[in-house]
A and B are shown apart, each in its own frame.
Chain A
């Protein structure tokens, strides 16, 4: 390993390192041609067995009690992030933060011992991701203090 490092000129090594550490794409393109539906997105976020979001996040969905506090509140997400940035965080946020506990909602590779019922399936379908993104974009108020 040390030999290889010495054999490669410094500048080439630097360029290589930059190439290998491809920055996470911030411009995740829409997954479908059909624009997301914010009302359907809200229902997915509120549903603990579909979106699962409220297990970890709190959000402006007052009829759902017992919201989690493992993650920042969803309030204001539409102020902080663009559609592309939100989509990336849902599709595979681990491209931004490999240690994140937030599940990757649209990825099937690299998982271990997935239960047979879910094996090979993404947590949400492409259109559901678009719906959730559309809903998150409507969240333009900071969380209550």
Chain B
């Protein structure tokens, strides 16, 4: 049995063994905060999302039908013929099916609904984007990830691949796996989306971030999910 396990481990690509969630780079107290639902502030957003879901969405969806959805987003949106992320998908439902104005990106109602839906996939592995129509966006995401930008002229690769685990001033540079979003960030004193995190990294190198909802973020998210495929979702995670 042990030998079989060892063989299996050897068969895994090196990257699958070395990958670590940002969770592992955190201080023990922050880890404890994420682990304990009673302490995890992100659970307040999940609870609010649950109320909204039960009020606005159960005419068409059940809680059980939301299990696993977040693990396979961004996905292809037939209506617009473009990739769409989970928050975009939820907004589209509000607009198309409830026929009311969609909630703004990064608004409390949308973060709460997205946190609730993503929470239904907690513990499930991120799946590799497989729809062939996503391929061009995935490649765009890969290119954006490798591109130097801003006055400081740095790419995501240079920090998150070449220098992950080292310290940028007081912060340990994580490997940038999008396992926990939307998540509660101590620095934000609130829950935010992956797009908010990416904007932070972009403005950090003094580059012009893309607007919320831009196709570039969906492309980056597709690439990050491809890179993190098989890692387990943690929503709502906590980060420093």
Please tell me if B124 contacts chain A, counting CB pairs below 8 Å: no
B2 adjacent to chain A (CB < 8 Å): no
Contact, CB under 8 Å: B154 / A101: yes
Cross-chain contact B150 with A101 (CB below 8 angstroms): no
A44 to B169, CA, bound (A): 16
Is A115 a contact partner of B170 (Cβ separation < 8 A)? no
B208–A114 touching, CB < 8 Å: yes
Interface of B with A (CB < 8 Å)? 147-154, 158-159, 162-163, 166-170, 203, 206-208
Find A111's partner among B153, B159, B163 (CB 8 Å cutoff).
B153
Cα(A56)–Cα(B147), bound, Å: 20
Contacts A114-B206, A115-B206 given; does A68 touch B147 at CB 8 Å: no
Nearest residue (CB) in A for B148 is A112
User: In the bound complex, how far is the Cα of B205 from the Cα of A101, in angstroms?
Assistant: 11
Bound Cα distance from A111 to B151, whole angstroms:
7
Q: A111-B150, A123-B151 are in contact. Are A70 and B163 (CB under 8 A)?
A: yes
Q: Can you sample 9 A-B contacts with CB below 8 Å?
A: A55-B169, A66-B167, A69-B166, A111-B151, A112-B148, A112-B149, A112-B150, A115-B151, A117-B206
The minimal Cβ–Cβ distance linking A94 to chain B, given in whole angstroms, is 8
CA A113 to CA B154, docked complex, whole Å: 11
Q: How many residues belonging to A are interface residues under a CB distance threshold of 8 Å?
A: 25
Contact A112/B207 with A103-B151, A103-B152, A118-B151 known, Cβ cut-off 8 Å: yes
How far does the Cβ of B161 sit from chain A's closest Cβ, in whole Å?
Answer: 12
Q: Which residues of B contact A101 (CB under 8 A)?
A: 154, 158-159, 162-163
Which residues of chain B are within 8 angstroms of A113 by Cβ–Cβ distance? 149-150, 207-208
Scoring A113, A116, A118 by chain B CB atoms within 10 A of each residue's CB, the highest score goes to: A113
Determine if A70 and B208 form an interchain contact, defined as CB atoms under 8 angstroms apart: no
| Neighbouring A residues of B166 by C-beta, 8 Å | 68-70
CA distance A114 to B152 in the complex (A): 8
Q: How far is the CA of A27 from the CA of B153 in the complex (A)?
A: 24
* Cβ-defined contact, A66 with B170, below 8 A: yes
Q: Compute how far the CA of A89 lies from the CA of B153 in the bound complex, rounded to whole angstroms.
A: 15
Task: Convert A38-71 into 0s and 1s, putting 1 for each residue whose CB lies closer than 8 angstroms to a CB of B.
Answer: 0000000000100010111000000001111110
B165, closest chain A residue (CB): A69
Other contacts beyond A54-B169, A114-B208, A115-B208: 20, CB < 8 A:
A55-B168, A56-B168, A66-B169, A66-B170, A67-B167, A68-B166, A68-B168, A68-B169, A70-B163, A101-B159, A101-B162, A103-B151, A111-B150, A112-B147, A114-B150, A115-B150, A115-B207, A121-B151, A123-B151, A123-B152
Distance, CA A117 to CA B169, complexed state (A): 24
In the complex, are the beta carbons of B203 and A115 less than 8 A apart?
A: yes
Taking CB atoms, residues of chain A closer than 8 Å to B203 are 115
Residues of chain A lying within 8 A (CB to CB) of residue B148: 112
